[in-house]
């Protein structure tokens, strides 16, 4: 898009060449063809060295730039708008079933459903109005996909999985796999490991979003349940029979072991681990890489470290080496004084 056209769209003023622009990029990583932006005069050096073809600057900016300039009221906001203009339209998923898809005759397809190539939908499944099921998805027997849900390529829903309205599942999500459950007895000194049947299902509330390659196991009995509006990032593990009350977030590579309950409005940060059979109270946050072995009743709002403790306790622990070094010096001094008395 021509810089002049873009300037009009953004309500700004172009100075310099009417260059062709293709994408947005930060000042440091921008390439020719990019539009960058700067709001703060303290980044004047970054502006001076940018490789962008044009830069959005505040109207009152006084320094020069090595490229075309579009002056606007709010460069950050204008850049967001520009990104929307540059972004190619999202792929159209027309309401139709691709002829290659294998959809059992008993499946109930709602109105305006899209089913992509090589997708398999097994018997008894129910797909709500307006749902988009992209290519190479597997939907097992008796699954329910709520209206307006969007399932990206290569997701698998094992039999009986239920999704609410407006659920988004990114590529490679696995719902309803067997939980890790075995009965181990010992015979002749070697463990005998028997699989415990995993008879339950996975249910997701309305507007849940699950990131790429995340796994959520079916319940042993009953339901593994993710409440409405909960947002789960990539590569997260949710064990069997876990319950999340809703409106919570679970960030990448975190794990929640079997039968634990996460309250409403919780935030479990990246790579954190929640042990099995415990409760995390409403609104509690578990910091990155924290390990939580016991229930959290909400008296501490943010835990960090393994085992998880308050920021104050964690901070005190970090200071231990300095405290011990100081004590060591003090003890040495006391000893010298005592020795001097001798």
Residue with smaller CB distance to a second copy, 62 or 193: 193
Q: What is the CA radius of gyration of the chain?
A: 28
Among 67, 133, 152, 204, binds a second copy (CB under 8 A): 152
- Are 126 and 108 contacting, i.e. CB atoms less than 8 angstroms apart? yes
- Residue 328, Cβ density class (10 Å: 0-12 exposed, 13-18 middle, ≥19 buried): exposed
Phi and psi of 100, rounded to 5°?
Answer: -80, -15
CB of 169 to a second copy, least distance (A): 10
Nearer to a second copy by Cβ, of 86 and 302: the residue is 86
Stated length of the chain: 342
Q: How far is the CB of 49 from a second copy (least distance, A)?
A: 16
- Judged by CB, which is closer to a second copy: 29, or 63? 29
Pick the binder of a second copy from 191, 277, 294, 297 (CB under 8 A). 191
Q: How far apart are CA 125 and CA 110, in angstroms?
A: 11
Query: Smallest distance, Å, CB 238 to a second copy?
Result: 9
Interaction between residue 96 and a second copy (CB under 8 A):
no
Instruction: Specify the residue, 15 or 159, whose C-beta has the smaller distance to a second copy.
Output: 159
Is 337 one of the binding residues for a second copy (CB under 8 A)? yes
265 is written with which tokens? 């409005």
Catalytic site residue 114?
Answer: no
Pairing of strands 174-177, 132-133: unpaired
Asked if residue 310 binds a second copy (CB under 8 A), the reply is no
Per-residue binding letters, 163-182, with a second copy (x by CB under 8 A):
-----x-xxx-x--xx-x-x
Q: Is residue 102 a contact point for a second copy (CB under 8 A)? A: yes
Judged by CB under 8 A, which of 5, 17, 20, 29 binds a second copy? Answer: 29
Q: Is 12 in the site for a second copy (CB under 8 A)?
A: no
In this chain, which of 60, 62, 90, 94 binds a second copy, going by CB under 8 A? Answer: 90
Q: How far is it, in rounded angstroms, from Cα 278 to Cα 295?
A: 5
By CB under 8 A, tell whether 308 contacts a second copy: no
Q: Name the residue nearer to a second copy (CB basis): 64 or 171.
A: 171
x/- track of binding to a second copy for residues 205-244 (CB under 8 A): --x-x-xxx-x-x---xxx-x---x-x-xxx-x-x---x-
Among 160, 164, 205, 263, binds a second copy (CB under 8 A): 160
Contacts of 164-169 spanning 24+ positions with Cβ under 8 A: 164/203, 164/204, 164/205, 164/206, 164/207, 164/208, 164/228, 165/128, 165/206, 165/207, 166/206, 166/207, 167/204, 167/206, 167/207, 167/208, 167/209, 167/210, 168/208, 168/209, 168/210, 169/209, 169/210
- Catalytically active residues, by annotation: 240
């Amino acid at each position: 898009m021509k810089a002049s056209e873009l300037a009009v769209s953004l309500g700004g003023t172009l100075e310099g060449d009417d260059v062709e622009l293709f994408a947005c990029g930060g000042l440091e990583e921008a390439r020719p063809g990019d539009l960058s932006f700067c709001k703060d005069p303290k980044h004047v050096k970054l502006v001076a060295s940018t490789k962008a073809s044009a830069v959005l600057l505040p109207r009152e900016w006084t320094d020069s730039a090595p490229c075309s300039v579009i002056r606007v009221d709010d460069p950050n906001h204008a850049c967001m708008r520009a990104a929307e203009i540059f972004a190619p339209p999202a792929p159209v998923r027309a309401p139709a079933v691709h002829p290659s898809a294998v959809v059992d005759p008993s499946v109930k397809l709602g109105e305006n459903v899209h089913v992509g190539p090589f997708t398999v939908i097994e018997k008894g499944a129910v797909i709500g109005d307006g749902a988009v099921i992209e290519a190479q998805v597997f939907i097992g027997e008796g699954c329910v996909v709520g209206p307006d849900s969007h399932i990206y390529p290569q997701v698998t829903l094992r039999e009986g999985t239920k999704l609410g309205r407006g659920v988004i599942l990114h590529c490679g999500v696995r719902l309803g796999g067997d939980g890790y459950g075995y009965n181990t007895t010992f015979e002749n000194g070697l463990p005998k490991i028997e699989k415990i049947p995993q008879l339950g299902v996975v249910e997701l509330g309305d507007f849940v979003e699950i990131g790429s390659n995340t796994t959520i196991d079916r319940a042993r009995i009953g339901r593994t349940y993710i409440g409405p509006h909960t947002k789960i990032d990539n590569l997260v593990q949710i064990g069997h029979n876990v319950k999340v009350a809703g409106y919570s977030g679970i960030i990448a590579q975190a794990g929640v072991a079997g039968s634990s309950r996460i309250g409403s409005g919780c935030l479990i940060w990246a790579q954190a681990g929640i042990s099995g059979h415990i409760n995390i109270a409403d609104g509690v946050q578990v910091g990155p890489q924290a390990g939580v072995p016991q229930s959290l009743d909400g008296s501490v709002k943010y835990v960090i470290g393994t085992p998880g403790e308050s920021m104050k306790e964690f901070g005190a622990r970090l200071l231990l080496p300095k405290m011990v070094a100081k004590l060591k010096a003090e003890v040495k001094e006391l000893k010298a004084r005592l020795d001097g008395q001798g």
